C-alpha cells in the first residue's frame, strides 16, 4: 500500500489551516486570496523544480499547495466584482492574479533549481 494518499491528506490539512491563518491575519477577501495564490504558486514552482521525490511532491505540492491556494475563491471574487458593476476591478483581479501566480511559479522554479 502506498502512503501517497496519507501524505496528500496531511499536507492538505496543514495547507488548509495555513490558509485560514492568512485569512484571519489579512482579513480582506481579495487580498488574502491573492496572497495565498501567489505564495502557493511560488512554493509549488520550488517543489516541482527541486529533486525532492514523489512523496515530497505529494505532501507539499498536491497536499499543502492544493489546500492553501484557492481557485474557487478567486473565481467567485472576480465574478462578484463584475456582477456588482466593477468590471475594470474584475479584469484587474483576473489578469493580475494570473500574472502574479505565473511569476510566482517561475521564481519558485528558478529557486528550486538553484538551491538543489
pTM equals 0.92
> Which tens digit of pLDDT belongs to each residue from 33-50?
999 999 999 999 999 999
d(CA 75, CA 93) in angstroms, rounded, equals 10
User: Taking all residues of the chain, what is their mean pLDDT, rounded to a whole number?
Assistant: 96
d(CA 71, CA 89) in angstroms, rounded, equals 17
pLDDT category at 73 given cuts 50, 70, 90 is very high
Any idea what DSSP says for residue 60?
I
The pLDDT value recorded for residue 29 is 85
Burial (Cβ within 10 Å: 0-12, 13-18, ≥19) of residue 72: exposed
The pLDDT value recorded for residue 33 is 96
Backbone angles phi, psi at 53, to 5 degrees: 95, 165
The pLDDT value recorded for residue 115 is 87
pLDDT category at 116 given cuts 50, 70, 90 is confident
Any binding-site annotation on 66? yes
Any idea what DSSP says for residue 3?
S
Any binding-site annotation on 2? no
Per-residue pLDDT at 102 exceeds 70: yes
Amino acid at each position: 500500500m502506498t502512503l501517497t494518499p496519507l501524505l496528500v491528506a496531511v499536507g492538505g490539512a496543514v495547507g488548509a489551516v495555513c490558509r485560514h491563518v492568512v485569512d484571519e491575519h489579512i482579513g480582506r477577501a481579495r487580498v488574502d486570496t491573492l496572497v495565498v495564490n501567489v505564495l502557493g504558486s511560488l512554493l509549488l514552482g520550488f517543489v516541482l523544480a527541486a529533486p525532492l521525490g514523489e512523496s515530497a511532491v505529494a505532501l507539499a505540492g498536491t497536499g499543502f499547495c492544493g489546500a492553501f491556494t484557492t481557485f474557487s475563491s478567486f473565481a467567485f471574487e472576480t465574478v462578484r466584482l463584475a456582477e456588482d458593476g466593477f468590471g475594470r476591478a474584475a479584469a484587474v483581479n483576473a489578469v493580475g492574479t494570473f500574472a502574479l501566480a505565473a511569476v510566482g511559479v517561475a521564481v519558485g522554479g528558478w529557486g528550486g533549481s538553484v538551491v538543489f
